[in-house]
Amino acid sequence: MQQFNFPFVATNQEETQLRNEVRSFLKAELDSGGYQPSADCWMTAASPEFSEKLGTQGWLGMTWPKQYGGHERTTLDRLIVTEELLAAGAPVAAHWIADRQTGQQIINFGTEEQKQTLLPKMAAGKSFAAIGMSEPQAGSDLAAVRTKADKTATGWRLNGRKIWSTGAHLCDHMIVLARTSPAEGRNRQIGLSQFLVPLKTRGVEVSGIDDLSNHVHFNETLFEDVDLTEDALLGKEGNGWAQCMGELALERSGPERFLSTFILLEQALTVLRGKLDNQGLITLGQLIAKLRSLRIMSRGIARQLAQGIPSDTEAAMVKALGNAFEKEVVTATRRLLSTTPTNEWPAGLAALLDDAVLKLPANTLRGGTTEILRGIIARQLGMR
Ligand SMILES: Cc1cc2nc3c(=O)[nH]c(=O)nc-3n(C[C@H](O)[C@H](O)[C@H](O)COP(=O)(O)OP(=O)(O)OC[C@H]3O[C@@H](n4cnc5c(N)ncnc54)[C@H](O)[C@@H]3O)c2cc1C
């Protein structure tokens, strides 16, 4: 049985300085009406203009090599920027996936040409990417994907259907997991490959799906005889499963897994400050203690990733606990505020609360369901 590893990482002065820089930038944006804070901002609040501003600040592709438009900063610096953006409910959804995982996948597995063509635009906030893993019959059971890519004289022909593709309507590329050769007996993880698919290509159709809150932020993506050049293959043919698992570790390890609803708590406190009874104070204290613990765990993961230490199980743990925390924030805030909005509520709080409630069910599904994450953790504990 292996142990979990969450090293404690102390803060330092440079970090505080970076945090203050991001806060000043966000305050100026907010004051000038640049955005309206929202819950779940990293998935549903997209503003390509805002993403470009972050690119200009040097806050996208922060850890990537300078030769590809990155800034060669630490994973902790990146964590600080992402924490501040999430805590402020800023409109970061457009670039989120490219910055969090697609860029790093390209750095890890891409050809020189893929790196030179795509990464600088992503780091500038001018090119966005989507995740093409799930299909109607393949969610938790990802190895069941049916999308397939067949070799042709000039490259590959892609056919299939992806679902829940977040932001694909704004993106120019999607990393698609597809079958390139048959499974070997019961081992379905064999024969899968990843492709960097340009979405503005003949045969690709992206259509929006309404979520519970009436937003279109995810899509169904259809691939019908899409001809891809040879260099659309990302990494090695047949290595798709292993590559995908690495991508999922990037996807699960960030603070967005516990900060999606933080903005709600912060805004509610403008009404609640000084008015909570003992029970209310206990509830608030518990939330803050949990948040502090999750942040310490998240910083530990960032440090480990920087040192090249795999942290998949630790990331699964933060996501599972973080999703439970996000839900508690909404439940507790609803209880602490009166159920009917009063004149004291700041503008936007009622809408923020409604929106957070409607978006909440998605949190424990996206990026791997709680049951699947618990399975990963149980395996690490030697329980299965
Ligand atoms: C908001 C949102 C955004 C998303 N964005 C993307 C995206 O950009 N790209 C993408 O590819 N996908 C995306 N997804 C899809 C997401 O990854 C899947 O929804 C998720 O993996 C679950 O798959 P499923 O929906 O098919 O549910 P299923 O896998 O059918 O699961 C249904 C239920 O059964 C449980 N279950 C399944 N298998 C097991 C098991 N072995 N043990 C115990 N319980 C089990 C699950 O926990 C769940 O409760 C997104 C989903 C959401 C909600």
How confident is residue 1, by pLDDT bands cut at 50, 70 and 90? low
Angle between helix axes 312-336 and 262-272 (nearest 10 degrees) is: 30
Q: What is the mean pLDDT of the chain?
A: 95
Predicted confidence at residue 3, as pLDDT, reads 77
Residues 78 and 253: beta-carbon distance below 8 Å: no
Residue 178: the pLDDT is 98
Any ligand 1 atom below 6 A from CB of 365 = yes
State the distance from the centre of ligand 1 to the C-alpha of 56, rounded, in angstroms. 35
Three-state SS letters, the chain: CCCCCCCCCCCCHHHHHHHHHHHHHHHHHHHCCCCCCCCCHHHHCECHHHHHHHHHHCCCCCCCCHHHCCCCCCHHHHHHHHHHHHHCCCCEHHHHHHHHHHHHHHHHHCCHHHHHHHHHHHHCCCCCEEEECCECCECCCHHHCCCEEEECCCEEEEEEEEECCCCHHHCCEEEEEEECCCCECCECCCCEEEEEEECCCCCEEEEEEECCCCCEEEEEEEEEEEEEEHHHEECCCCCHHHHHHHHHHHHHCCCHHHHCCHHHHHHHHHHHCCCCCHHHHHHHHHHHHHHHHHHHHHHHHHHHHHCCCCCHHHHHHHHHHHHHHHHHHHHHHHHHCCCCCCCCCCCCHHHHHHHHHHHHHHHHCCCCCHHHHHHHHHHHCCCC
Residue closest by Cα to atom 43 of ligand 1: 371
pLDDT single digits (tens) 38-76: 999 999 999 999 999 999 999 999 999 999 999 999 999
Q: What is the pLDDT of residues 64-122, one digit of tens each?
A: 999 999 999 999 999 999 999 999 999 999 999 999 999 999 999 999 999 999 999 99
What pLDDT, on a 0 to 100 scale, did the predictor assign at position 384?
A: 85
Domains in the chain, CATH or no CATH each: 13-127 (1.10.540.10), 131-238 (2.40.110.10), 244-380 (1.20.140.10)
Q: What is the pLDDT of residue 102?
A: 98
Nearest CA to ligand 1 atom 40: 372
Q: pLDDT of 285-306, one tens digit each?
A: 999 999 999 999 999 999 998 8
Q: How many CA atoms lie within 13 A of 33 on its CB side?
A: 0
| Candidate of 221, 358, 360, 366 to mutate for ligand 1, largest count of ligand atoms within 8 Å of Cβ | 366
Catalytic residues: 251
Residue among 111, 125, 158 at smallest CA distance from 50: 125
| Distance between Cα 138 and ligand 1 center (Å) | 8
Whose CA is closest to atom 51 on ligand 1?
Answer: 366
Summarised one tens digit per residue, pLDDT across range 124-169 is: 999 999 999 999 999 999 999 999 999 999 999 999 999 999 999 9
Nearest CA to ligand 1 atom 12: 134
Predicted confidence at residue 308, as pLDDT, reads 86
Among 326, 311, 293, which Cα is nearest to 253's?
A: 311
- Asked whether 372 lines ligand 1 (CB < 6 A), one says yes
pTM for the structure as a whole? 0.96
